Amino acid sequence: MSLATDIKVFHSAHTRASSTVLKAHCRYLISTINKKNLKAVLAEIQQLESQYDPEVIGGLIINALIELIDWNDASKRNKDQTQLLASKISLILFNQPNFSSLVCSAFDGMTLPEDFLATFSSALKLNYVQEITLALGMTKSLSENIFTIGTDYISSKCLAALNQGNPNDKFPDYVVHELLFFLREYDDFSEKEEIIEYFRKNYNSVFSLMPLISTQATSSLDMKRSILKISNMLKVRRQVSQTILQAPISNTLIT
């Protein structure tokens, strides 16, 4: 084994070890939160975010919070932990074009109940824009469990959330773009066209509606190709018919 390979293997092992230590440290910090030490814990989290990648630390903190908070019994929830999670989740779901990867990181390694998203949203008091954005981010997960929770929400609850939400709360263009792209690629479901129509009526950014424009262009191109194909087929048939009509009649056929 070469020196370069040795260094690469050492660096990879060191990185994994550092990540494990950081995750354990973040989990320990979160588990000790109470009213007396809240400021000290928040200060240490800020120090970790300045020392390491803030998105990595944020993901580890959210991951630990989701695992430690009691989602089955509201009376047993640590309010300080819940408020910290609400704050961290809001940062992910607002003005973060890479929100999908951050959401996937937050739920990494978890297996959640089917109704988790409703409980989670209610506990953190998410608005409909945040809730839909969160569900959309979950559809990018490699975990079948997380993916299913996200897709089930989009296909069965997204339209109701849109219709009941405050119209003054607007989605960022990159979320609309990603949601419409998801709808374009995802299997048909009963509310799909109504969701698409909602965004068509309420958003006019070229970037946000690009998936619809590209779909229309593709459909138009496919139609043109089909028409051209049919036209060519009819042309060939006419040529064959003319050839048959113009061909001399064989004497052997004359009785």
The pLDDT tens digits of the residues spanning 57-108 come to 999 999 999 999 999 998 989 999 999 999 999 999 988 999 999 999 999 9
> Among 165, 199, 224, where does a domain finish?
165
Range(s) of the domain holding residue 108: 23-165
Residue 88 forms part of a structural domain: yes
What's the pLDDT at 155? 94
Same domain, 62 and 161: yes
Within-domain flag for 4: no
Residue 24: predicted pLDDT: 92
pLDDT confidence tier of residue 186, bands split at 50, 70 and 90: confident
Last residue of a domain, one of 116, 143, 165: 165
Q: Using alpha carbons, list the distances in angstroms from residue 193 to 71, 104, 112, 130, 238.
A: 34, 27, 29, 22, 42
pLDDT at 156: 94
Do 48 and 158 lie in one domain? The reply is: yes
Percent of the chain with pLDDT over 70: 77
Q: Are 159 and 183 in the same domain?
A: no
Predicted confidence at residue 17, as pLDDT, reads 42
Q: Are residues 154 and 42 both part of a single domain?
A: yes
State the pLDDT at residue 20. Answer: 85
What band does 216 get if pLDDT is binned at 50, 70 and 90? low
Looking up tokens 């932990």 gives 81
How many domains, the chain? 2
Same domain, 186 and 160: no
Whether the CB-CB separation of 171 and 133 falls below 8 Å is answered with: yes
Give the pLDDT confidence score for residue 16 in this predicted structure.
45
CA distance 184 to 213: 11
Query: At how many degrees (to 10) do helices 79-93 and 116-124 cross?
Result: 100
Residues 142 and 178 in one domain: no
Average pLDDT, the chain: 82
- Domain final residue, candidates 149, 165, 181: 165
Cβ contact 138:150 at 8 Å: yes
pTM for the complete prediction? 0.76
Within-domain flag for 213:
yes
Stretch among 48-62, 133-147, 204-218 having the lowest mean pLDDT: 204-218
Considering the domain architecture, whether residues 198 and 83 belong to the same structural domain is answered as: no
